């Protein structure tokens, strides 16, 4: 051991000691705080700390060693070499202030819980929380509040802060004893504060709440209005503990220390104690079925889940837990792209992905909101969506996790968004686990949703090509938003994000509904579109041909749910969204008879009437009407149905199992024949010269003509 100590001292000489800056005060080399680099070995630290010196390693908060240095070093993995002068291997650095130094000095005084407190204890311990692990979150939150209060006092009064203890939260687990301990260096409590805070409900309104709760026979989520008015987090300790001890010493001058002790039934004891550090220490003696909370691995997971972003450092058995910064609390200009990328990877548990878009949104009006939103570089797979529909936005209040996946903060169609929302204005229920479905929450959702939509619109203006790629991959979610929304204003807001190819631009170029509206001809009232699997099929459609001759621009809708989206959107900026097929049906209904204008090379009026009579006889009830039209040039015929888009959707759903004849009778299609087309003229000639052959061909084509309606409904226009 002597050799190892000499090696350690040698390491100190090689590295050198430098003054340590603690809370703005540089202490001289000869006083109790110096900074030692990682080459310092344990025996050397032990020897020097025994002389009254205190050390910490680079990057580890300051710690006074003189009181009990061996305890701080007991779990370290670094061993000093006893035979070599080489530096010892670097080990994990531990830092803990938790010590078993408290002793009772007086006679315990027994107190009864206030009646309302007993009722509250019963509610919290038995039924309020759905998962008992949240007691850790509650106690950490309370400890953080105590530290924040102490920091505030130090800034406003200049007193009440000890230079020896940093603002920290420490947790220790003991599997052998079955205990969970949490200690903070916050404001602490006086005797009267212990009685007020731990034995009674001092806030007005809480008693009335509990009476109402008892009267209604309710003990669960309906009692949601206390948090924000009264903190009950401490009592959650009795969910997992059959006995709880609280040691506390106030930072007020000349304050004494006390121990509060209770089994959570009807009474508690308070007694004076020695060896208590400034702040508060809670020791929970765990119930036998809750001993998992004495296991470090389990507690570490819970801290990471609920309290990663608490503003104060949290140590578990000497190890710093919350190393990730709460970026949303910073000013947007202070956060680099690299920090955003790392934080996004932390949220998504994906170290390879990068966000496509990043929105750092902070506002104090109309609500207090601190938020970060990320659009992943790729959309989630269908199997990922089927597993979880609640979205990827976590909800915090003052950096304490409230809900891991808050499904009421964003609409369901925005569930691909990853991020964090932190708001002090959010109303919570007593356990902080469920949001009240209040007007305030709806307002928060509206504000955030509107901001995200504006953000995406801005991205389209800044970089149209990148946005078009985003829309190609995420357009299904936007369409879902329009289809699922019940508010027309919200539908149109989402509609601003839609993109389509158009007859006015070349293939591959996309336009928005706003851009289309800006190009509308004078007197045009409708926005026209056609649904087809591809541009080729859309442009070869007889409906588009007939409409193009009128000189109107037409949007091409290729996606599977585009038609349903347009039907649900109905109008945009006071302009009706109209399918060209439906418009053809409307124009057709306005002309009850066939076109009378004779075109050179076309059937005469008499020939047209003869062919119409013949086709009606052949097709029978499969069509509601037959006409000869001059609106077509390249196609021999087309089928029109009133409200073609709705009819197509109806055909795919409600009429799915009906027979073909039933479908046609319900759809009431009209067959329009192009009297100038050679196929139609040949059919007319066969009807006259070879009536048997013409009828045979017509009879053979009955099934094909039946399919014509279906194919027209699916835009495969291979008539005759």
311 has binding-site annotation: no
Encode burial over 90-107: b for 16+ CB neighbours within 10 A, e otherwise: ebebbbbbbeeebebeee
- Residue 649: which of 476, 472, 483, 475 has the closest Cα? 483
Provide CB contacts within 8 A for 212, sequence distance 6+.
Answer: none
CB-based contact 438:417 (threshold 8 Å): no
Instruction: Answer yes or no: is 233 a known binding residue.
Output: yes
Instruction: Report how far residue 260's alpha carbon sits from residue 473's, in angstroms, rounded to the nearest whole number.
Output: 59
Q: Which residues pair with 672 in a beta bridge?
A: 627, 638
Print burial letters for 422-443: b (CB count within 10 Å at least 16), e (below 16): bbeebbbbbbbbbbbeeebbee
Residue 516: CB atoms within 10 A of its CB come to 21
CB count in 10 Å sphere of residue 689: 9
Is there a binding annotation on residue 189? yes
Does the annotation list 315 as a binding residue? no
377 labelled binding-site residue: no
Q: How do strand 392-397 and strand 418-422 relate by DSSP bridges?
A: parallel
205 is in an annotated binding site: yes
Pairing of strands 55-57, 34-36: parallel
Question: How is residue 322 annotated by DSSP?
Answer: -
| CB contact at 8 A, 455 and 363 | no
Distance separating alpha carbons of residues 7 and 88, to the nearest angstrom:
9
**Token pair for residue 412?**
């369901």
Token pair 């541009």 is found at: 535
Q: What Å distances lie between residue 168 and 177, 185, 194, 206, CA to CA?
A: 24, 6, 21, 31
Are 311 and 324 in contact by the 8 Å Cβ rule? The answer is no
Q: Answer whether 455's CB lies under 8 Å from 447's CB.
A: no
- For residue 303, what are its two tokens? 């801290």
Distance between CA 394 and CA 206 in Å, rounded? 29
Q: Which residue has the tokens 């000691």?
A: 17
Phi, psi of 260 (to 5 degrees): -105, 135
Q: Which residues pair with 578 in a beta bridge?
A: 528
Strand partners, 57: 36
Coil, strand or helix at 398: coil
Q: Is 142 annotated as a binding residue?
A: yes
Is 197 labeled as ligand-binding? yes
Please tell me the distance from the alpha carbon of residue 563 to that of residue 565, in angstroms, as a whole number: 5
The continuous run of DSSP H or E covering 193 comes out as: helix 191-199
Q: Which three-class secondary structure state does DSSP give residue 435?
A: strand
Q: Is 229 annotated as a binding residue?
A: yes
Q: How far apart are CA 372 and CA 423, in angstroms?
A: 12
231 phi and psi angles, rounded to 5 deg: -85, 125
* Contact criterion met (CB below 8 Å) for 637 and 603: no
To the question of whether residue 280 is assigned a binding role by annotation, the answer is yes
Angstrom distance (rounded) from CA 585 to CA 25: 85
Q: Name the phi and psi angles at 302, rounded to 5.
A: -70, -40
Two structure tokens written together for 565: 């989206």
CA angle 557, 554, 494 (to 5 degrees): 55
Spatial neighbors of 255 by CB under 8 A, at least 6 apart, are 188, 190, 249
Give the 3-state secondary structure of 475-536: HHHHHHHHHHCCCHHHHHHHHCCCCEEECCCCCCCCECHHHHHHCCCCCCCEEEEEECCCHH
The secondary structure of residue 111, as a DSSP letter, is E
Q: Is 214 annotated as belonging to a binding site?
A: no
Annotated binding-site residues read: 138, 142, 184, 189, 197, 204-205, 229-234, 280, 432
Annotated binding-site residues for ATP read: 138, 142, 184, 189, 197, 204-205, 229-234, 280, 432
């Amino acid at each position: 051991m002597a050799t190892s100590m000499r090696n350690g001292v040698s390491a100190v000489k090689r590295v050198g000691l430098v003054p340590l800056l603690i809370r703005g005060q540089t202490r001289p080399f000869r006083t109790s705080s110096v900074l030692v680099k990682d080459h310092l070995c344990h025996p050397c630290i032990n020897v020097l700390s025994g002389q009254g010196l205190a050390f910490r390693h680079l990057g580890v908060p300051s710690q006074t060693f003189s009181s009990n240095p061996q305890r701080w070093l007991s779990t370290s993995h670094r061993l000093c070499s006893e035979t070599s002068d080489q530096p010892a291997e670097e080990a994990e650095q531990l830092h803990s202030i938790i010590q078993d130094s408290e002793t009772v000095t007086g006679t315990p005084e027994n107190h009864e819980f206030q009646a309302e407190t007993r009722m509250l204890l019963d509610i919290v311990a038995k039924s309020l929380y759905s998962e008992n692990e949240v007691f850790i979150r509650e106690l950490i939150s309370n400890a953080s509040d105590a530290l924040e209060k102490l920091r505030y006092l130090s800034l406003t009064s200049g007193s009440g802060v000890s230079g020896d203890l940093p603002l920290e939260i420490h947790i220790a687990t003991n599997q052998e004893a079955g205990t969970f301990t949490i200690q903070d260096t916050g404001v602490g409590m006086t005797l009267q504060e212990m009685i007020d805070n731990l034995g009674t409900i001092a806030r007005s309104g809480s008693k009335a709440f509990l009476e109402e709760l008892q009267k209604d026979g309710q003990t669960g989520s309906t009692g949601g209005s206390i948090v924000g008015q009264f903190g009950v987090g401490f009592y959650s300790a009795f969910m997992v503990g059959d006995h709880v001890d609280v040691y506390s010493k106030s930072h007020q001058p000349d304050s004494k220390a006390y121990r509060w002790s209770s089994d959570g039934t009807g009474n508690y004891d308070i007694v004076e104690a020695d060896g208590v550090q400034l702040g508060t220490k809670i020791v929970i003696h765990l119930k036998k079925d809750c001993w998992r909370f004495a296991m470090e691995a389990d507690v570490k997971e819970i801290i990471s889940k609920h309290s990663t972003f608490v503003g104060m450092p949290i140590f578990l058995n000497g190890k710093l837990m919350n190393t990730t910064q709460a970026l949303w609390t910073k000013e947007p200009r202070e956060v680099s792209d690299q920090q955003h990328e790392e934080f996004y990877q932390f949220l998504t548990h994906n170290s390879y992905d990068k966000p496509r878009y990043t929105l750092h949104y902070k506002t104090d009006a109309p609500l207090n909101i601190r938020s970060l939103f990320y659009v992943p570089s790729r959309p989630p797979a269908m199997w990922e969506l089927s597993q979880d529909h609640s979205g990827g936005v976590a909800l915090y209040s003052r950096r304490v996790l409230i809900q891991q996946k808050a499904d009421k903060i964003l609409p369901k169609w925005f569930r691909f968004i990853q991020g964090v929302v932190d708001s002090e204005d959010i109303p919570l229920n007593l356990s902080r686990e469920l949001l009240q479905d209040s007007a305030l929450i709806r307002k928060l959702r509206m504000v955030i949703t509107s901001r995200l939509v504006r953000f995406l619109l801005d991205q389209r203006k800044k970089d149209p090509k990148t946005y078009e790629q985003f829309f190609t991959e995420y357009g299904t979610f936007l369409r879902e938003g329009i289809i699922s929304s019940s508010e027309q204003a919200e539908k149109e807001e989402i509609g601003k994000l839609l993109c389509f190819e158009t007859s006015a631009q070349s293939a591959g170029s996309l336009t928005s509904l706003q851009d289309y509206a800006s190009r509308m001809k004078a007197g045009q009232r409708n926005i026209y579109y056609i649904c087809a699997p591809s541009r080729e099929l859309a442009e070869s459609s007889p409906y588009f041909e007939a409409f193009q001759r009128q000189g109107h621009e037409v949007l091409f809708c290729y996606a599977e749910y585009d038609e349903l989206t347009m039907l649900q959107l109905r109008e945009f900026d006071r302009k009706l969204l109209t399918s060209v097929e439906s418009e053809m049906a409307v124009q057709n209904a306005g002309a009850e008879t066939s076109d009378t204008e004779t075109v050179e090379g076309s059937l005469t009026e008499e020939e047209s009437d003869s062919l119409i009579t013949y086709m009606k006889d052949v097709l029978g009830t499969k069509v509601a009407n037959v006409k000869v039209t001059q609106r077509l040039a390249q196609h021999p015929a087309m089928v029109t149905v009133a409200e073609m888009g709705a009819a197509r959707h109806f055909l795919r759903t409600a009429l799915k199992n009906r027979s073909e004849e039933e479908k046609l009778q319900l759809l009431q299609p009209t067959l329009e024949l192009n009297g100038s087309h050679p196929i139609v003229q040949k059919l007319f000639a066969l009807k006259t010269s070879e009536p048997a052959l013409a009828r045979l061909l017509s009879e053979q084509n009955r099934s094909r003509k039946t399919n014509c309606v279906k194919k027209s409904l699916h835009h495969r226009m291979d008539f005759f």
